[in-house]
A = this chain, B = another copy of it.
Amino acid sequence: MGITTKRTFRVKSIDVKFPQPIVIINEDDAREFGIASGNVVLATIGDVYHSLIVMTSKTLAQRSECVFPLELMSKLGISEGDVIGLRLIGLPQSIYALKKRLKGEKLTEGEFLALIRDVVAGMYGEAEIAAFLVSQLYNPLSDNELSHLIKAMVETGVKVKFEETVYDIHSIGGVPGNSKVALISVPIVAAAGLLIPKTSSRAITSPAGTADTMEVLARVDLAVDEIVEIARKVKGTLAWGGRLNLAPADDIFVSIERKLAIDPEQQMVASILSKKLAMGVERLVVDIPVGRGTKVQELKDAESLASIFIKQAGLLNIAIKIAITYGGQPIGTSVGPALEAREALRTHIEKRGSRSLIDKAIMLAGLIIEMSGRAHPGTGVEVARDIFLSGKAYEKFKQIIEAQGGNPNTKPEDIPVGKYTFTLKSPTEGAVTYIDNTAIALIARACGAPYDKGAGVEFHAKVGYRVNRGDPLITIYSNSETRLDDALVLLREHQPIVVEGMLVKTLP
């Protein structure tokens, strides 16, 4: 516990890529220093501390040398030959807060801050973080604890300041085809004169995140000052939030949750609200899609999640509205970055298209416009629809594309999609009765989405459509023939779209 002797070392580079902040020192130095391979040290670089994992070597590091991987050097802003101090550290002080939590005791605001600060500083391994998250499955945080956690997550990252009220719309996701909704709703909101500097994630387990889809049309890896500048100029952004260091504890939590395939409800709320608070969001609409094959399968679970959002937003001074939306089949007629970007652009230009896409985008935009006071309660949807149909939303979308370094005059037909395709035809006359979200996502990913931007699935029919035998149902796209073949195997195994004829059976 606590900090012991400090030693100084000369920085030397090595071209290895380590997945963690690992450095190498000489074995004899390590022995004198009293540390073993795998110990954590604090490096003083300028006025800032960074925790590093030390490994030892007889030959890679000479006496008094500390060998850094090149990537780590550039991340820490140090150069060959720099002199840095290393201090051996024991368990971080905040471990006592984790112990308290595991014993079932409540933590204070200060304890959450200490714990999260050490998480962000890299002082904990996966075991401690997993313990913190798993404890929530069994012993939920109190409302006050959850708000302390969220505030701590915000405090330990970058906080962006804007001069006017910040609005945002966030979908918890989980339904294929949803990534393009923001490409319509955000321009509507910005065109209404509201500031909506939206940052989104890339797909993790889905075929496309909003950032992946927007990237087909413009740059999304914007720096914080670019986002501020663009939002000032055109009111809206559609950027990637991944490298902005907003609530960085969340990224650490998410990586462990993924390993364990757990998704604690409270942590989901903390994840979303911390990122929003870090961006200075004051008014927020949260979309919770419900239905088979989405994150939230039952209405009652959506309501439970909504009540946590509402409670926390209240404690954190965010005005919030929750939209529980139908997620039982994909949104719009496409799944995959390029296909969805094309659909969004075509919808803007033609002012018509899939109702599931247009109605959802307009509804979400309408809710936030009502929260701004620029529309009376109950009329937000009409205001949003006018902005969409008048072409002001498309104008705004072009401004955002241009501000983010894209070509505002891109036409839907200019967007390249997968060059290998396969079209599934209806085996019978009847009506589409079911589309399997999970299978569609699996097939689109097998085609190569989101990394292959042109990969994905397009729908010629959706639930309720009447089809004749031989009519096309879906087309799958890929830029790799092998991947298309893999996807075809899944297509046959999973039957992601079901057509049922009027005649069910004949007797005898």
User: Does A131 contact B15, Cβ atoms closer than 8 Å?
Assistant: no
Which residue of B is nearest A39, CB measured? B19
Residues of chain B with a CB closer than 8 A to A415's CB: none
Kindly state the separation between the CA atoms of A261 and B101 in the bound complex, as whole angstroms: 12
Name the B residues within 8 Å of A98 (CB-CB): 260
CB nearest to A56 among chain B residues: B17
A99 touches B261 (CB 8 A): yes
Selected contact of A15 from candidates B36, B57, B259, B262, CB within 8 Å: B57
Q: Which B residues touch A129, using CB under 8 A? A: 127
Q: Which residues of B contact A56 (CB under 8 A)?
A: 16-17
Within 8 Å of chain B (Cβ to Cβ): is A18? Answer: yes
Which of A20, A38, A261 is packed against the most chain B CB atoms within 10 Å?
A: A261
B55 lies within 8 A of A17 (CB):
yes
> Complex formed: what's the CA distance from A56 to B19 in Å?
9
Are A127 and B261 in contact, CB atoms less than 8 angstroms apart? Answer: no
Contacting B at CB under 8 A, from A15-29, are 15-20, 24, 27
A84 at the interface (CB under 8 A from B): no
Chain B proximity of A87: nearest CB distance (Å):
18
Assess whether A27 is in contact with B37, with CB atoms less than 8 Å apart: no
Interface assignment of A439: CB less than 8 Å from any CB of chain B: no
Evaluate whether A256 and B95 lie within 8 angstroms (CB atoms) in the complex, with A16-B55, A16-B57, A134-B134 already known. no
CB contacts (< 8 Å) of A139 on chain B: these are 138
- The docked-state distance in angstroms from the alpha carbon of A130 to that of B27 is 30
Q: Assuming the A-B contacts A135-B138, A137-B102, are A19 and B55 also in contact, with contact meaning beta carbons closer than 8 angstroms in the complex?
A: yes
Residue of chain B at shortest CB distance from A261: B99
A48-77, CB under 8 A of B: which get 1 and which 0?
A: 000000011111100000000000000000
With both beta carbons as reference points, the residue of chain B lying nearest to A37 in the complex is identified as B17
Kindly state whether residue A46 has any CB partner on chain B within 8 Å: no
Q: Which of B16, B20, B262 contacts A24 (CB 8 A)?
A: B16
Q: Is A382 an interface residue (CB 8 A)?
A: no
One complex includes copies of this chain to the number of: 2
- Please count how many residues in chain A sit with their CB below 8 Å of the partner chain's CB atoms: 40
CB pair A130 B137 closer than 8 Å: no
Q: A260–B91 Cα gap in the complex (Å)?
A: 10
Task: For A120, list chain B residues within 8 Å (CB).
Answer: none
Expressed in whole angstroms, the minimum distance between the Cβ of A5 and any Cβ of chain B is 12
Q: Give Cα A137 to B36, complex, Å.
A: 31
A113 to chain B, nearest CB (A): 20
Measured in the bound complex, the distance between the Cα atoms of B58 and A253 in whole Å is: 31
Which residues on B sit within 8 Å (CB–CB) of A260?
A: 98, 102, 127-128, 131
Q: Which of B24, B36, B99, B131 contacts A130 (CB 8 A)?
A: B131
Q: A424 interface residue, CB < 8 Å from B? A: no
A508 at the interface (CB under 8 A from B): no
How far apart are A473's CB and chain B's nearest CB, in angstroms?
A: 28
Q: Which of B95, B130, B137 sits near A126, CB closer than 8 Å?
A: B130
A24 contact set on B, CB distance < 8 A: 16
Which residues in B have their C-beta under 8 angstroms from that of A261? 95, 99
- Across the interface, name the chain B residue whose C-beta is closest to A57: B16
A55, B127: Cβ atoms under 8 Å? no
Q: Which of A95, A133, A138 lies at the interface centre, i.e. has the most chain B CB atoms within 10 A of its CB?
A: A138
Are A15's CB and B58's CB within 8 A? yes
CB of A125 closer than 8 Å to a CB of B:
yes
User: Chain B residues with Cβ under 8 A from A59's Cβ?
Assistant: 15
Expressed in whole angstroms, the minimum distance between the Cβ of A49 and any Cβ of chain B is: 21
A20 and B19 CA atoms in complex are apart in Å by: 13
Hey, what's the 0/1 contact readout for A321-361 against B, CB within 8 Å counting as 1? 00000000000000000000000000000000000000000
Closest B residue, CB atoms, query A260: B131
Contacting residues, chain B, for A55 (C-beta < 8 A)? 16-19
Could you say which of B18, B27, B57, B134 contacts A131, with CB atoms under 8 Å apart? B134
A316 interfacial by beta-carbon distance below 8 Å? no
Q: Give 13 A-B contacts (CB < 8 Å), ordered by A residue.
A: A15-B58, A15-B60, A17-B55, A19-B36, A19-B37, A102-B134, A102-B137, A127-B129, A127-B259, A127-B260, A130-B134, A131-B133, A135-B137
10 closest residue pairs by CB, A with B: A19-B38, A138-B138, A126-B127, A127-B130, A130-B130, A17-B37, A16-B57, A126-B126, A134-B134, A15-B58
